[in-house]
Amino acid sequence: MIAFVAPLLLCASAAISTPSADAARLAIDGRPDEPAWAEAQVFRDFVVTEPYTLAAPSHPTEARLLATPQGIAIAFRASQPAAAPRLRERTPRDADIPGDRVNVFIDFNGDRKVAYNFTIGLSGAMQDSTWTNEVFYSPDWDGEWQAAVAEDADGWTAEFLLPWSIAPMAGSDAPRRTIAVLFDRVLGATGERSASAPASFTRPRFVSDFPRVEIDQHQAAVLDLFPYATVAHDLIDGGNEAKAGLDLFWKPSGDFQLTAALNPDFGQVEADELVVNFDAVEVFFSDKRPFFTENQSLFDLRTPDEGQLVYTRRIGGPRDDQPGRAADIDAALKVSGSARGFNWGTLAALESDHADDLGSLFVAQRVVRPGETLSLGWIGTWTDRPFLAREALVNAVDLTWRPGPTVLLAAQAIGSDITSPDGGRDGRGAWVRLDLTPSATWRHQLEASHFGAGLDFNDMGFQRRASLNEVEWTTVRQQSGFAEGHWLRGIQWYAELQYRTNDRGDRLPVMLIPELGLQHADGASTEIGLFIESPGFNDLISRGNGLLRVGSGLSAYLEHETARRGDWVFGFTVNPYESVFDDRGLYLDAEARWFPAETFNLAAEASWLRSDAWLLWRGGRRFGAFERTQADLELDANWFPADGHELRLKMQWLAIDTADPRGFDLGVDARLRASAAPVEPFSINNFGVQLRYRWTLAPQSDLYAVYSRGGFSERSGDPRGIDDLFQDAFSLRDADQFLVKLRYRL
């Protein structure tokens, strides 16, 4: 086995100090009126980037950038006369902000690898996220930073303060540093986005297009301890469970950062979406656990087909010995830093009972050599799963090449080696992506990928499938320049062509996707699209029991979201389809969002699906086709009674009812034939509700009180009807719990 050697760099010492209170010290109150702001760099030449017209924005914006001992400070002046609507709706921390807002995007190293996004709305709502590999967005990261807003008759102002310890920064001991930075602003009423440079996340070189600026640099060090305690009361059996642990964050400098956890708090207070999955591919879930969101962008490597080489939900996921239970974690460690032009990091986590051959051990290591034109990197992961007597080693090398301002080339080669009682296997894969942006109007992308039949990085990553050869071409044209008063602001024409085979040479359906996006002048949006699939083979649906020959498929959709009308926003989707399995159906979705007050909002969404021949695998080479009726309902209410206090209600219901079952067998000619074997109809009912109170005692210190209830039922041979399933949903009670959690920063 290839040895894992972590290049842990030892720091001799680092003093923990506080910034001096000098003339540059700022009060982050939303009013940039301190004398120090007169020395800031000023950015005034904003252009419209959504739609990507590069025209002058409706209202001017000015941004200022200032380096202080406290951190990097940014101030905005957003002109907005009284006649222009101002939207100030509050949202929970890290939720999408629908109203007026400003954004700061910073690549602290100026090396195009990771950009951090900081957002504040006119309401004071805050959100942060990361952008990796130019355009890969992740809302999971949470940082400690300050921001505030203030209003006047002519507009509003905002201030940000980003501490020097907020993210890894190479060369943190130098007196000056070069960063890449972009400022932008969104008008909530119309959706118009303007930015300080012609950079947009809809284009493939988003982070590379940030302008580089030079600023003074100051030293900072942080040592944070986060003890936590949870007490849960089970309302079904009356049992109580208490748990305590500790998270540690040590950042002696921007060149070295360490995160550790003992008996870590990996419990979720965020509710996952309800999902009932009958596909051969699992469902991807994001991760909001504090340990995994801290400095995780270094390990954020994506692959085509929506893959990830490090998928942190594997850690503390279903136990190998009891898949219905989540594994506990004893300890976890993450270190990252930079030295001699390299960025590096190591992640390790040990599940409980590993010594008893039950829990798993996860290790990942990453090294990157960023460059102005060429960046090279390597990642290795190793997973030990003793209960299955399985070890998985994955290595991948990646590169990003920017030969000119209109060309971007990214590539990756992956290898996996699995040791298991069945003899194990190894596999190889590679992909390459070429992006061309010849003008502001056109952009093109060519992507080719090969995943060998033996490639498997699912032990610590997320891989939708192996045995795939795919070539994909995408062209996008942005049309703008409409006359003033026209009902349109922009049109986007999109076309994508996919050609796919598996490793045996079986041709999978070819897919053509033409789409049209309309951006209305009043802020509404409309999308129209087709998904056209050719005849071919499906090699996944039988779970390895043979190919299924499928016919052509056609799906059309229309999506529309209205502009803000008073306190309301509405949206709907209509999606008729005929699948490659000769299943004809109709999907409808309607959504309403209500903002009756700045401190309260409510969103409701309902969808309905009806199809006549839903094909499902029933084991071996057996299949069943069913008439299906499916209903989904979601309600999300948020109330902010005072600063630092949030009360959220989230309810979800999903139900499926089937009828008229027909049995089929898969023949050796890859065709389905009617079978006399009995196939029973079934129904599924899934319900969940969470009422969560959050009190932010101080930055990164929260008290939660959470009530959660949910249940799942599946019945065969007894069609219920959607109405009956809805009535039964409120009686489902597989879990019923009240939890109190305190996490406090010392």
Q: Which of 75, 115, 106, 127 is nearest to 182 (CA)?
A: 106
| Mean pLDDT score across all residues of the chain | 91
Average pLDDT over residues 253-271: 77
pLDDT of 217-236, one tens digit each?
998 888 999 999 999 999 99
Between CA 611 and CA 533 the distance in angstroms is: 18
- Residue 491: φ, ψ to 5°: -130, 135
Residues pairing with 249 in the sheet: 224, 259
* Cβ-based neighbours of 597, under 8 Å, separated by 6 or more: none
C-alpha dist (Å) from residue 465 to 58, 281, 617, 741: 47, 7, 17, 38
Out of 8-17, 73-82, 422-431, least confident range:
8-17
Average pLDDT over residues 330-356: 92
Q: What is the pLDDT of residue 93?
A: 83
User: 278: pLDDT confidence band, cut at 50, 70 and 90?
Assistant: confident
Q: What is the pLDDT of residue 682?
A: 95
Query: Which tops the pLDDT comparison, 108 or 261?
Result: 108
Checking if the pLDDT of 13 tops 70, the result is no
Between CA 187 and CA 148 the distance in angstroms is: 18
Between CA 669 and CA 546 the distance in angstroms is: 9
pLDDT of 134-157, one tens digit each?
988 988 888 889 999 999 999 999
**How is domain 35-220 classified at the CATH fold level?**
Immunoglobulin-like (2.60.40)
User: 376: pLDDT confidence band, cut at 50, 70 and 90?
Assistant: very high
CA diameter of the chain:
85
Q: What is the pLDDT of residue 297?
A: 87
Write out the two tokens for 333: 């460690």
Three-state DSSP class for residue 390: strand
Checking if the pLDDT of 7 tops 60, the result is no
Residue 503 and residue 453 in contact, taking contact as beta carbons nearer than 8 Å: yes
Write out the two tokens for 687: 């319900």
Between CA 522 and CA 520 the distance in angstroms is: 5
The amino acid at residue 130 is: T
Checking if the pLDDT of 436 tops 90, the result is yes
Q: What is the pLDDT of residue 294?
A: 79
Out of 57-71, 88-102, 147-161, 492-506, least confident range:
88-102
pLDDT of 492-549, one tens digit each?
999 999 999 999 999 999 999 999 999 999 999 999 999 999 999 999 999 999 999 9
Q: Which of 468, 644, 487, 627 is nearest to 563 (CA)?
A: 487
Query: Within the chain, how many helices (H) and strands (E) appear?
Result: 2, 42
Domain ranges of the chain: 35-220, 295-433+448-462
C-beta neighbour count of 341 within 10 angstroms: 12
Q: What is the pTM of this model?
A: 0.88
Out of 250-259, 343-352, 595-604, least confident range:
250-259
The amino acid at residue 518 is: L
Q: What is the pLDDT of residue 265?
A: 62
